[in-house]
Structure 1
Amino acid sequence: MMSPRTSACGIVIVALALLETSCPSLAFVSPSSLGRNPYRACPPRIDAISRQNHGSAARIRMAVEGDFDPDALSRSVEEAKAGSLKARFRALYKFTRPHTIRGTILASIAGTTRALIDTPGALASADWGTLLPRAFVGMIALLLGNAFIVGINQIYDKDIDKMNKPFLPVASGEMSKRFAWGTVLGAGIIGPIIVKHFFPALLFKLYMFGWFLGAIYSVPPIRTKRNALAAGLTIATVRGFLLNFGVYYAVRDSIGATFTWSPKVSFIARFMTIFATVIAVTKDLPDIEGDKAYNIDTLATKLGVAKIAKGASACLLLNYAGAIATGLLTKPGTFNMIPMVGGHLALGLALLSRFRELDSESVPSIKKYYKHIWDLFYLEYMLYVFI
């Protein structure tokens, strides 16, 4: 039976999706009309639309100016083209999308710690000479999977990113498409080989399922990112369920313990699946103009920043309320009350405070709001260790 938290959030997400399907299609602007530098000067069609929509052209420029120093970026591009190793490493670092890398690392560390805590005697009896190297290669496999997914997205979104995220290395020219493809293919091949060699068959199947979902998110003709509901389900499945279940299962297998769904791992899988769905919806908030121009249908392009931010914040607040209720209503001793109740109350209040500060007409404010969503995502994994 679904919990009240899951049901309520499901209603919010489904309602938003139904609203999306009821909205008329947005005007399509062909990529050829954007010119060579679409993020420096808006094309006529976009400029006309922007002026009608309360100064969106200014917001596009704010997005560009708020993300990078154009002169510094130009220098980085020239240095990379000249063969500077420092510039190429800097481009590679940006190519991996560090905020997603941090989420993967924290999920791995928290999941490993939780599995060890949940297994009596594991810390004392573990063969650390075997466990630590296996944990290390497992982390590498996850990071390679992460790089594969975000990298292939940048390759296929190059033209869109020239408007939405012109600071990304493929869009800016810091990284050539050839080098980007080499990086993506290397990550996409080496990651599965590692998992196949070091981990059970079930984990390999789950890894490849996540690999497949990450690929079809960006690659035509499927390209699930075009549909808000499909995109949300893809991200929620990979970041919410597969990552958390996979890490916990891998650690239990490594220490020779039978996998069981403990209340804590069940909680984090549910909680983070909902959280990842919210991230999938809010990630498009700063990118509305570019998504409209390239006919990418998202909930943000259909409903606007204010409605999406309100719905996403409401869903997360229900998620936090559900966590608090779980802590209070579950059998005593199942959860530690201070982090489970007090910690989630504090995070919920922090979210509410940030939402109240949001200016839906300001790109810097929108990006600050979205960054705060990721900060709460990181903090949840830190809390997970102690619940």
Structure 2
Amino acid sequence: MNGRRPIKSPANHPSFGLGWAVGSQPLFLALFISFILGTAYSINLPFLRWKRSAVVAALCILAVRAVIVQLAFFLHIQASLLRPAVFTRPLIFATAFMTFFSVVIALFKDIPDIEGDRIFGIKSFSVRLGQKKVFWICVGLLEMAYCVAILMGATSACLWSKYATVVGHAILAAILWNRSRSIDLTSKTTITSFYMFIWKSLLLTEEEGNGVRDHCRILEMRVMEFYATYG
């Protein structure tokens, strides 16, 4: 993750072509802002390469995952259905929930790369606090997010949504806790596997809470691929 990669031209990146083809201004702006932040995050130029700062790197990921993507998709769907752009309770909850996940992703992504971060002089939270402490902070934040989701689901007026949200997040919380207890923090393979498990849990959670169209899901995957490329 810490090696230098060539920066792709935005014109050649498939996300921009797809965003343009969909014809959605919110989605295209989300992709464009994500590209700008992703470039500043990784490119090795003066005042840039923000990944060197643990706080700024976390803020970049938080901005994209928790705010930009959520708002852009919401505004896109509202515009597609000719509905007013009124912030709803589910949107506020989704943004808050994704804030937890984004912080975890920002913290956890550096756990497997602690040695590389030390070599490149990147003062990540894993370097500063240690792998074990950061790992359990991440697990704790995710469990808190699932507990909040369960409580929110329990208050839902829609019966099927209530059961799906409560049961679904309870299962994910149990699986997370069970897997976290068997992680060997000295093995980069198991840590990376657990990191990918967090991403899979993220996608499952989003599928539970959003009935977006297929092209929206593809665009979100493109944003994720972009961060995987430049992260």
- Shared fold, TM over 0.5: yes
**% of aligned pairs identical?**
27
- Residue 215 (1) aligns with residue 39 (2): yes
Quote the residue 2:227 is aligned against.
none
Partner Cα distance (2:81, 2:162) in 1: 28
Quote the residue 1:340 is aligned against.
165
Quote the residue 1:316 is aligned against.
142
- Residue 276 (1) aligns with residue 102 (2): yes
Paired residue type of 2:184: D
Q: Structure 1: which 5+ runs fail to align?
A: 1-153, 160-169, 171-179
State the 1:377 CA deviation.
1.0
Quote the residue 2:3 is aligned against.
158
Partner Cα distance (1:274, 1:307) in 2: 17
Instruction: Tell me how many residue pairs correspond in the alignment.
Output: 209
Quote the residue 2:196 is aligned against.
371
Paired residue type of 2:109: K
1:241 and 1:350, CA in 2 relative to 1: closer, same or farther beyond 3 A? same
Paired residue type of 2:104: V
Partner Cα distance (2:10, 2:74) in 1: 27
Q: Secondary structure at the match of 2:85?
A: coil
Partner Cα distance (2:80, 2:141) in 1: 36
Paired residue type of 1:273: T
Quote the residue 2:217 is aligned against.
none
**1:135-154 residue CA offsets vs partner (Å, 9 max, x unmatched):** xxxxxxxxxxxxxxxxxxx7
Q: Please tell me whether the aligned partners of residues 285 and 305 of structure 1 are also in contact (alpha carbons under 8 angstroms).
A: yes
1:193 and 1:323, CA in 2 relative to 1: closer, same or farther beyond 3 A? closer
1:297 and 1:351, CA in 2 relative to 1: closer, same or farther beyond 3 A? same
- 1:178-257 matches, within 5 Å, as 180-181=6-7, 183-187=8-12, 191=16, 194-195=19-20, 198-200=23-25, 205-219=29-43, 220-221=45-46, 222-257=48-83
Paired residue type of 1:370: Y
State the 1:370 CA deviation.
1.2
1:189 and 1:324, CA in 2 relative to 1: closer, same or farther beyond 3 A? closer
**1:190-249 residue CA offsets vs partner (Å, 9 max, x unmatched):** 82895499234x655544333322221112222211111111111011012211221121
Residue 263 of structure 1, aligned match among 66, 70, 89: 89
Partner Cα distance (2:15, 2:73) in 1: 18
Partner Cα distance (2:195, 2:158) in 1: 35
- 1:66-145 matches, within 5 Å, as none
Partner Cα distance (1:371, 1:212) in 2: 25
Partner Cα distance (1:239, 1:375) in 2: 14
Q: Secondary structure at the match of 1:381?
A: helix
State the 1:313 CA deviation.
0.3
Partner Cα distance (2:39, 2:56) in 1: 13
Quote the residue 1:19 is aligned against.
none
Q: Report the TM-score, using the length of structure 1 for normalisation.
A: 0.49
Quote the residue 1:362 is aligned against.
187
**1:124-181 residue CA offsets vs partner (Å, 9 max, x unmatched):** xxxxxxxxxxxxxxxxxxxxxxxxxxxxxx7xx535xxxxxxxxxx5xxxxxxxxx54
Partner Cα distance (1:207, 1:188) in 2: 10
Partner Cα distance (2:72, 2:200) in 1: 23
Q: CA RMSD in A?
A: 2.7
Q: Structure 2: which 5+ runs fail to align?
A: 212-231
Paired residue type of 1:315: L
1:385 and 1:192, CA in 2 relative to 1: closer, same or farther beyond 3 A? closer
State the 1:312 CA deviation.
0.5
Greater Rg by CA: 1
Paired residue type of 1:355: S
Quote the residue 1:116 is aligned against.
none
